[in-house]
Structure 1
Amino acid sequence: MTAQNPAQNPARDPARDPVADPTAEPAPLLEVRDLAVAFSTMSGPVQAVHEASLTLRAGRALAIVGESGSGKSTTAMSVIGLLPGNGRVTGGSVRFAGQELVGLDEQRMRRIRGRQIGLVPQDPMSNLNPVTTVGQQVAETLLVHGMATRQDVHEKVVAALAAAGLPEPARRAKQYPHEFSGGMRQRALIAIGLACRPRLLIADEPTSALDVTVQRTILDQIERMTEEIGTSVLLITHDLGLAAERAQDIVVMHRGRIVEAGPSAQVLEDPQHDYTRRLVQAAPSVAAARVARQAASPGATAVAGRGAPGPAGPVPAAAEKPAAPEAPPLVVIEGLTKVFKGRLGQADFTAVKDVSLTVPRGRTVAIVGESGSGKTTTARMLLKLYEPTEGSIRFDGQDVVGLRGRELAAFRQRVQPIFQDPYSSLNPMFTIGRILEEPLSTYRRGTRKERQERVKWLLEEVALPPSMLNRYPNELSGGQRQRVAIARALALQPELIVCDEPVSALDVLVQKQILDLLGRLQDEFGLSYLFISHDLAVVRLISDEVCVMKDGEVVEAAESEEVFTNPRHPYTRQLLASIPGNELRVGA
């Protein structure tokens, strides 16, 4: 197959065309030609996009895939004129509905944004105003663009939130972003992006924080808009299954260049470029994941036995060797319940109800379920970030709930988190080097020189170059920031790592590196993981045991293979059936 531009592909489903004549090629809505984008840095200009060209026709969906830093989001943000202050378009053309957007003044660009081109950004927390209710933020978009009046805006806000899959939309409209889970915040952004029914929707990782059932709800909604009013979708994603299932055409980017383009099924079934083949081979699959995990035995790893450099000190004796099966579990949770008190007369909310689970030493227990099911709340109680209303948590035989002072400080060195949102969990005022050194200096690990050596090792372990040390989080891509967060969690050589969606922001190549790294560290040091994820293919790849949560309760818990091959609860079967692209055939 010769890689072809989506604009040159005549094959399409006539039923999806917004034009009256099903045999006529719809006019291009978006045309990008020879786009070049550069960023100004202290060391000189950095070319982020090189002569990128793509065409998106009315009523169709085009996915841009590639690893973090490949130029996907930069290309999309160039279209809507939202590059960072140090970024600029240095060449090429961007035409939307026949109008040139490159060089358009800000006032005219604002008339296009929101009303004609909607945006669903990648980061749900930094793109929502923390001091304004979610409903007010949706209402603002509707009012500014004349899509609602003061009289009917509330009704339209509730409808927009409901369309985005938020439960109890009328109640949620009165809440603030900090009262939402990560996935619920993402749905609020999707509601804002779709509120004005734009002609083009730029969706930058629109479902990266969502569980598979809500993914399907959101993507079905986007697809309905495509069919009803001819909205085109420019989808930025690292999920190849999602891209293949939801977009007719795919553009593959690597190091700022488009290396392959064509119909989705053709690109994934018969990739021509080496980089595309690597992406396809690295994509996790529910069917193949267990085979891959079994192949990665401790004796087979190329770096088995390789430990961290000296500055962090020796690995604790309890973690030097994977424990025998009869050893007592590292974590025992029994009857855990968390009730959040309602504010201003609202009813109390039970987020977690009578949850019991164990985390064996040297093993991985995964918690899966929809956003708002209680996964993250359970993890935060284990981390001592929330106090439980009822129940007990024991870590290595010690009561966690009653820990205070020095005992609490010692516990937190042995248990480290990887949070879901890499944007808000990294201090924007610190360099990457300082972020990684902070836990070592806080707990007085090693000398300054030893800590610096440890930081370099951590960067290497998460596949980041030493040049990152003096950069700030806002200079990194989403995937790079998440790798920094993972490196920070490894700094103190913990015994238990609580992973809250640790690879949700990563492309498949880096995702595989991180999962391989977590597996190798577990093999070498007997680490235990509590792994929270909505990506069931990733869960099967890394987990030994799985707990399925729904509405704050555990509805199914068993060995990973049992859950995936013989799910007993209807909700578990629903989760497995909702995986995007699960039935697609991909090949090298």
Structure 2
Amino acid sequence: MTDITPTGSTADQSENPDAPLLEVRDLEVRFRTTHGEVKAVENASFSLPRGSALAIVGESGSGKSTTAMACIGLLPTNGEVVSGSIMFEGQDLAHLPEAKMRAIRGRAIGLVPQDPMSNLNPVTKIGTQVGETLLVHGMATRKNVKQRVIEVLTAAGLPDAGERAKQYPHEFSGGMRQRALIAIGLACQPRLLIADEPTSALDVTVQRTILDQIDSMTEQLGTSVLLITHDLGLAAERASQLVVMHRGRVVEAGPAEQLLNDPQHPYTQSLVRAAPSVAAVRLRPGAFTVDTATRQKLAEEAFAGHEAGHESAHGPQHGGGTGVPGVGTSGTGSHAASSSERPVAAGQEQSSAPANIVEIRDLTKVYRRRGSKDDFYAVKDVTLDVPRGQTVAIVGESGSGKTTTARMLLKLIEPTSGSMMFDGMDVAALDKAQLNDFRQRVQPIFQDPYSSLNPMFTIERIVEEPLNTYKRGSRKERTARVRELMDQVSLPHNALRRYPAELSGGQRQRVAIARALALQPELIVCDEPVSALDVLVQAQILELLGDLQSELGLSYLFISHDLAVVRLISDYVCVMKDGELVEAASSEEVFQNPRHPYTRRLLASIPGNELEIDEDLAS
């Protein structure tokens, strides 16, 4: 690694070396809105010692990012620090004039924001953006700025930094763009680095690489880290101290190990139980049922919580079950579970239904490279089965081919070769009438519920749309079906008059699930359905999917890069790398005895996978 030892950053150190680098006391932040003032942070207090890492954990709306932005003076124009203090090296930043704050921001306090595409200028080369930071803060001159840029990018782990500096953000992968933000955040060798969800959109292997890079650079510089995250496992792995925030307040704080194994506040306990990376037991579909009246009551409570501006932590709860995991992928040496062990979709007879609802053989998708004679194999010779009533997960990094496989099964793109059988029918040979039937029996749930729902439609129209499209029932019957679906996904009927923008992320995903269920499908293809959600909301959606599978006999093809989530929901796991299936076995076998080196690397990259958690709390 290039030497990035600070050359004078200790000159401004506080006179008392034992004093905390950052000390927040009784912080209150308010936002002015059209509906009056909103308290985003209330009486928040914590301290960050020099040379250490502290993580603020909480779901969206908890106030963690607002607290961090207050520390660096980057609150929105309608936000202000009303009271309290933010002491940084003996200086109160809470009410510091902007001119003085600019001298601290970047030079003494660095920032790595969440979304690199929103925080990098798309029309400016990476090297220019890093160079601007160095020049503004006097860390380079016009004569040596190019060399300093190369040094900083190299230190951030970017190979061939000289050439990378000449490229634009769109020419970088997600992980490379995040490294560029790290380079900018640490370019001036700050004493404090605020990392706001720096890896939330990245694959687990890239995530670990990025976090290792931050750890390495901050250790070399002696920089303290304030990490903002909703992932409790990641927080405990990367920080010695945790601060848990809920609805703008600090509800618990202390050493990471202590909070994980002996959480005192109910909200902290719910985070420990919900975080996939610290779960000690696997959720089993069918372990419980919830009657309609209870569902509606829970839904009203959850919706009321959102009306107050907060994501509700209510919803149906799973107990730990002992179901038989689904096995049966061809060519893996596993044996198929007997048909009597598998749930069957409503309306189908056990004797006439094939054991596998989906059978894929040697599926291949080839793309022609522009300006090249070489073809690109997005998917190559993939063979797998989806047993009826079971959950089969396809995992892998971005670019592994998992989503392409799912899109071919949904007939959104055509395969180059291979076969796909659905309920004994060749998907490629379906005529118009059969394809119409296929579209009703196979439904997708996509990653981003906001972009997959029409923002101009009410929730009622969104859920009812498939029924209208396929002319299911009378107007009165469709209205009744929509309300039945809202009950199934634990959403209140008064949400039907709302629009997607008026719902939380978790509620929008419940709407997407309700729409997918409208036509009573037998197979649902879930493409990263919880990756954009906080851990508590994520747990609710996973539990909902498991409950619906138990009630309706649904089969799931679950696409994810998050092995911690896959462990909670899947019966069977297929691991893809570079378009090929490298391992396929039951979920228990993959997680307890991974055979392929790539699978072992994925498992080793799960945040917090080596944490020791009290089983009573994680179950």
Q: Measured at CA, do residues 550 and 258 of structure 1 come closer, stay the same or move farther in structure 2, by a change above 3 Å? A: same
Q: Distance in 2 between matches of 1:98 and 1:440?
A: 64
1:218 Cα offset (Å): 1.4
8 Å CA contact 1:186, 1:209 repeated in 2: no
Q: Measured at CA, do residues 124 and 349 of structure 1 come closer, stay the same or move farther in structure 2, by a change above 3 Å? A: farther
Q: Measured at CA, do residues 43 and 396 of structure 1 come closer, stay the same or move farther in structure 2, by a change above 3 Å? A: farther
Q: Distance in 1 between matches of 2:491 and 2:79?
A: 22
1:521 to 529, 548, 557: 548
Q: Distance in 2 between matches of 1:172 and 1:551?
A: 27
Correspondence 1:282 to 2:270: no
Q: Which residue in the other structure is 2:369 paired with?
A: 342
1:391 Cα offset (Å): 2.4
2:127 to 139, 154, 157: 139
Question: CA offsets per residue over residues 304-323 of structure 1, 9 Å max, x none?
Answer: 99999xxxxxxxx9544695
Q: Which residue in the other structure is 2:222 paired with?
A: 230
Q: Distance in 1 between matches of 2:403 and 2:35?
A: 40
Q: Which residue in the other structure is 2:423 paired with?
A: 396
Gaps of 5+ in 2: 1-8, 297-343
Q: Distance in 2 between matches of 1:210 and 1:276?
A: 25
Deviates more, 1:342-351 or 1:106-115: 106-115
Q: Distance in 2 between matches of 1:85 and 1:403?
A: 57
CA RMSD of aligned residues (A): 4.4
Q: Distance in 2 between matches of 1:351 and 1:422?
A: 26
Deviates more, 1:235-244 or 1:32-41: 32-41
Correspondence 1:512 to 2:539: yes
1:188 to 169, 177, 181: 177
8 Å CA contact 1:62, 1:249 repeated in 2: yes
Q: Distance in 1 between matches of 2:228 and 2:488?
A: 27
Q: Distance in 1 between matches of 2:88 and 2:373?
A: 46
Correspondence 1:242 to 2:234: yes
Q: Secondary structure at the match of 2:602?
A: helix
Q: Distance in 2 between matches of 1:156 and 1:363?
A: 52
Question: CA offsets per residue over residues 45-67 of structure 1, 9 Å max, x none?
Answer: 44332222222344322212223
2:66 to 69, 74, 78: 74
- Structure label with greater radius of gyration: 2
Q: Measured at CA, do residues 230 and 37 of structure 1 come closer, stay the same or move farther in structure 2, by a change above 3 Å? A: same
Q: Measured at CA, do residues 307 and 95 of structure 1 come closer, stay the same or move farther in structure 2, by a change above 3 Å? A: closer
Q: Distance in 1 between matches of 2:556 and 2:252?
A: 37
Q: Secondary structure at the match of 1:581?
A: coil
Gaps of 5+ in 1: 1-17, 309-316
2:413 to 356, 376, 386: 386
1:281 Cα offset (Å): 2.8
8 Å CA contact 1:501, 1:532 repeated in 2: yes
Q: Distance in 1 between matches of 2:264 and 2:398?
A: 37
Correspondence 1:34 to 2:38: no
1:545 Cα offset (Å): 0.9
Q: Percent same amino acid among aligned pairs?
A: 65
8 Å CA contact 1:330, 1:396 repeated in 2: yes
1:268 to 245, 250, 260: 260
1:197 Cα offset (Å): 1.0
TM-score, structure 1 as length reference:
0.77
The amino acid across from 1:375 in the alignment is: K
1:547 Cα offset (Å): 0.6
Q: Distance in 1 between matches of 2:107 and 2:473?
A: 56
Matches within 5 A, 1:100-499: 100-102=92-94, 117-123=109-115, 132=122, 136=124, 138-146=126-134, 156=149, 160=153, 163=156, 177=170, 184-185=173-174, 188-197=177-186, 199=190, 200-284=192-276, 288-290=280-282, 292-293=283-284, 297-298=286-287, 300-303=288-291, 318-320=345-347, 327-343=354-370, 348-401=375-428, 408=435, 410-422=437-449, 424-427=451-454, 435-436=462-463, 438-443=465-470, 482-499=509-526
1:262 Cα offset (Å): 0.8
Q: Distance in 2 between matches of 1:458 and 1:105?
A: 54
Question: CA offsets per residue over residues 112-158 of structure 1, 9 Å max, x none?
Answer: 666655544445666677xx48xx56335313313687997699579
Question: CA offsets per residue over residues 509-528 of structure 1, 9 Å max, x none?
Answer: 32222111111111111111
8 Å CA contact 2:363, 2:383 repeated in 1: yes
The amino acid across from 2:174 in the alignment is: R
TM-score, structure 2 as length reference:
0.74
1:408 Cα offset (Å): 4.8
Q: Which residue in the other structure is 1:586 paired with?
A: 613
Q: Which residue in the other structure is 1:312 paired with?
A: none
The amino acid across from 1:246 in the alignment is: R
